[in-house]
Amino acid sequence: MSLEGGVRIVDHREMILTLHDDRLTSLADLEQFLAGTAGLATQVAAGTEAQRQAHVLSVLQRFRYATLSRTERGLVIRYLLHTSGYSRQHLTRLIARFREHAPLGQRRTPTHGFNRRYTADDTVALARLDRLHENLSGAATRHLCQRAWLVYGDARYERLASISVAHLYNLRKTLAYRQARGHWQGTRPSRSVSIAVRKPPRPEGRAGFIRIDSVHQGDFDGIKGVYYIDAVDCVTQWQVVACCQRISEAFLLPVLEQMLACFPFRIRQVHTDNGSEYINVRVAQLLDKLNAEFTKSRPRHSNDNALVEAKNGGVIRRTFGYAHIPQKHAARINAFCKDALVPYLNLHRPCLFPRQTVDAKDKIRTTYPAELVSTPLEKLHSLSARARGLKPGITLQALLMQARTMSDNEAAAQMQSARAALFETIRRSASKAA
């Protein structure tokens, strides 16, 4: 229906009222109308959006909205909200257009959008330049574009010579740039190769079940420090520490082979975490030559490698600290470990050994009684000959004689002196470099 003859009002009870709003000529009439329809949820039942906008325009013009006071404008807005069916936000936008003498109709989006300043050819030229110079920073790349155009007259970089650094990065994110920059082959699934068995060490009172972990000696300005390899026997806590420059295959394998040879008993099993430095074919081949089982930690079982991790903090960090040590000192540190640290740890340094009991509620209780405190050599001595599994040519008497050549205090003093000399060498080397 037309709005010229009146406004058709529909409430929530589907009752239809017809109001000839052209008879509302004063603000008092609007107030009386709002008071009389306060209980009705009304809206205009117009046929088109244009008719509803015509109703809004008619009311604003009739009451000369621009000349009204703030209170009077609020009254007109309440009337339009009551009769137009528009939301407050949309009605505010329509009134703003009315005050700007603009049409109330919806503004259309530009058909052609924004003009592109940089073309597909510019993107390809940028990708070619990045490929040649291996992706320099945005500022350096823009300077190259400027030189290409201004110095060498390459017309392909005329527009790119004036590009901003921020927009240069925007071009690098586009699909056209990635397609021109190069081709990437997605990761292809490979045949699964099972290396090591997922299970915890179960020594059952026998020596030769080794747990291994690596410790990193800090970074300095992005430069890696040395790496320590820590190996501990589960039963005797016999510990061997070594040092290497990196944990790549070329550096780790010789050190690992040297460490396993330092244990006085036969290696029955080696247990590691899931790091790729250990879980690889070369390490598996090395352990296979020793006829040793290779196991790795299970998911969500943090205690599988807990013993060696405790030794990392109690021995390695206490001995070498946390400060960065350059990789060039790995050979000196390795010699210190072999000659001073490892003999002290195994022949003279006491360790705590647990005693586990099961209470009435079947809960395992772990204690560390004083009578079980002993050095790794004393613990090895307490085992039976079968449980020791000493290597050929190594006897228990020879190990005991080696331990008695000096007292525990003398061995500790010798180790401390050797460590002080090592760190003094490292300090002098750092001073010369500075």
Give pLDDT tens digits for 128-184. 888 888 788 888 888 989 888 998 898 999 999 999 989 999 999 988 898 888 755
Rounded Cα distance between 246 and 254, Å, is 12
Torsional sign, CA 266, 272, 275, 279:
positive
The number of folded domains in the chain is 3
In a domain, 345, yes or no: yes
Bridge partner list, 243:
228
> Can you give the pTM of this predicted structure?
0.56
Residues 340, 258, single domain; the answer is yes
Q: Which range scores top for mean pLDDT: 19-33, 80-94, 359-373, 413-427?
A: 413-427
Residues 348, 418, single domain; the answer is yes
Q: How many residues belong to the chain?
A: 434
Rounded Cα distance between 348 and 351, Å, is 10
In a domain, 390, yes or no: no
Bridge partner list, 8:
18
What pLDDT, on the 0 to 100 scale, is given for residue 14?
43
- Residues spanned by the domain of 158: 120-181
In a domain, 86, yes or no: yes
Residues 257, 347, single domain; the answer is yes
Q: What angle do CA 275, 277, 283 make, to 5 degrees?
A: 115
With both helix axes pointing from N to C terminus, report the angle between 70-84 and 49-62 in degrees, rounded to the nearest 10: 160
In a domain, 363, yes or no: no
Rounded Cα distance between 256 and 230, Å, is 10
